[in-house]
Amino acid sequence: MNYAIVDIETTGGSTKSSKITEIAIYKHDGMKIIDSFDTLVNPEMPIPEFISRLTGIHDDMVENAPKFYEIAKQIIEFTEDCIFVAHNVGFDYGIIRHEFKLLGYDYRKAHLCTVRASRYVIPDHESYSLGKLTKALGIQLIGRHRAKGDAEATAHLFTLLHTTDSKGLQTFIQEEINPKILHPNLDLETLEEIPNKPGIYKFYNDTNQLIYIGKSKHIKKRIEQHLKNVKTLKGSIMREEIARIEFELTGSELIALLYESELIKIHKPIYNRALRRNNYSYGLFSFEDQAGFIQLYVDKINKTSNLPITTFTTKKEANDYIFQLVDEFQLCQKLVGLEKSSGSCFGYQIKKCHGACVGAETSESYNLRIQALINQLTFDDDNLFLVENGRDKREKSVVWIENGSYRGFGFVPYFALKQPHRNWLRFIDMHPEDKDARTILRYYTRKNVELLKIPYNG
């Protein structure tokens, strides 16, 4: 496997407005540099003065240099069958892709970021900027902020990373979407405009049938995972049917979870049924025993119609959490299902249990702590708003809870945030509550203890 270690200098600005002024590429076989290519590039626009001061590249230097279209074929041929590598690869790869896009060519390559890889392979460095990291590692960098010098230093850094942990390094290769395996009507240009923010997304086939609904904190990344899926048969079949993609931003992950659950029930997309799985398999439940003690236990949610106190994705997650509760609330390990001994629990022996298991503590005293725990995890009688970031900086996302029931969600603009809370209700759209919505709310509020909860009294 060969790698193309790339660095560019540009006129500055965004990926779409910046133009390349210099490019250097070192071909690498994993152990050493085997070939190189570098040139100044005429950006066909003035180079800003502050960029010239940083790089030393000014308009006169690039006046007679080749324009990008004149070296485009060389770049394609030089990087053929190579993994694209750069320090902060999103910048270099994004700008080069855009330059090719302006020429009508779709330049796609698997790529690897040496910043991310370095944090994993050689951790605990004070800085992972190219200048500071190479200095700390004793790698010579001649010509900082020039493409050739930075690319050569990155190539020597890559040699170190590859020889230190070649298998670990491979996990940082990001595969690109292969247009050849996608539906011919799917517009990849539209895909690239999707933001990496919380939201829901919908896949349609070529007869405009809604075939899948999903959600994610990073919808672009999640959609790309679907489009790269070659690991499962059902996922691969669905991928080839996707002809159109729609999305809605939700601001918060909580709203994305609630909205996805609701939409799936309304539309029943075929691939949500084919690929369905219960993300919240286990629940924490309670009952009162004959002695009047409230006991806790973990069980599979699909075994009962009772509403769990909170939910978990695995049995191990549930047990780990209960161990935390035992310490926090000084609970008896026998009464939370962690022990089945006939005598006292281990906690009583080390004086962390007050003795509910051997009659040394009354049920009234013990149940006060259990009820405080349940109140912390639920909001059965509460009226409140759950507030998180909005879809942009001009608003906050809000989930409305009334008398412990989920009523809906909305987006409150900043001008209204300081108004009486009753005014927020005009920004809330009503949505139905069901067991899944309550399960989602209880799981999310437990996992996100920093979630802002604002009481509402009407």
321 with 312: CB under 8 angstroms? yes
349: its two tokens: 């022996």
115 and 262 co-located in one domain? no
139 and 192 share a domain?
Answer: no
Statement to judge: residues 349 and 322 lie in one domain: yes
pLDDT, residue 187, reads 82
Rounded Cα distance, 16 and 98, in Å: 7
Residue 399 has pLDDT above 60, yes or no: yes
pLDDT at 322: 92
The pLDDT of residue 34 is 97
Same domain for 29 and 159, yes or no, is yes
313 and 367 co-located in one domain: yes
| Final residue before a domain boundary, out of 170, 190, 211 | 170
Q: What is the mean pLDDT of the chain?
A: 91
Confidence at residue 377, expressed as pLDDT on a 0 to 100 scale: 84
pLDDT-derived band of residue 81, with 50, 70 and 90 as boundaries?
very high
CATH code for the domain in which residue 125 is found: 3.30.420.10
pLDDT tens digits for range 47-67: 999 999 999 999 999 999 999
> What pLDDT is stored for residue 26 in this prediction?
98
Q: Percent of the chain, pLDDT > 70?
A: 98
Sheet holding 282-288, edge to edge: 294-300, 282-288, 310-312
Torsion of CA 369, 370, 371, 375, to 10 degrees: 100
Residue 190 shares a structural domain with residue 245: yes
Looking at the fold, whether 222 and 258 belong to one and the same domain comes out as: yes
The one-letter amino acid at 129: S
- Over residues 180-209, the pLDDT tens digits come to 778 888 887 778 889 999 999 999 999 999
> Which of 39-53, 111-125, 378-392 is the least confident region?
378-392
Average pLDDT on 366-395 reads 90
Distances (CA, A) of 70 to 9, 66, 164: 17, 6, 38
422's CB contacts (< 8 A; 6+ apart) are 456, 458
Instruction: Find the mean pLDDT for residues 371-388.
Output: 87
**Residue 124 zone, left/alpha/beta (φ > 0; ψ -120 to 50; rest):** left
Verify that 343 and 432 share a domain, yes or no. Answer: no
Residue 278 pLDDT grade (very low, low, confident, very high; cuts 50, 70, 90): low
Residues 197 and 54 in one domain: no
pLDDT band at 435 (very low <50, low <70, confident <90, very high): confident
Query: Could you tell me the CATH number of the domain that includes residue 212?
Result: 3.40.1440.10
pLDDT of residue 304: 80
**Final residue of a domain: which of 153, 170, 187?**
170
Note the pLDDT of residue 208.
Answer: 95
pLDDT at 277 over 60: no
- 213 and 124 in a common domain: no
Please say if the pLDDT value at position 232 is more than 90.
Answer: no
Total number of domains in the chain: 4
Q: Residues 6 or more apart from 101 whose CB is under 8 A from it? A: 107
Within this chain, do residues 221 and 263 fall inside the same structural domain, yes or no?
A: yes
Structural domain boundaries, residue 335: 282-377
pLDDT band at 236 (very low <50, low <70, confident <90, very high): confident
Query: Residue 458 — very low, low, confident or very high, per pLDDT cuts 50/70/90?
Result: low
**372 shares a domain with 404:** no
Q: pLDDT confidence of 376, banded at 50, 70, 90?
A: confident
End residue of a domain, out of 274, 293, 320: 274
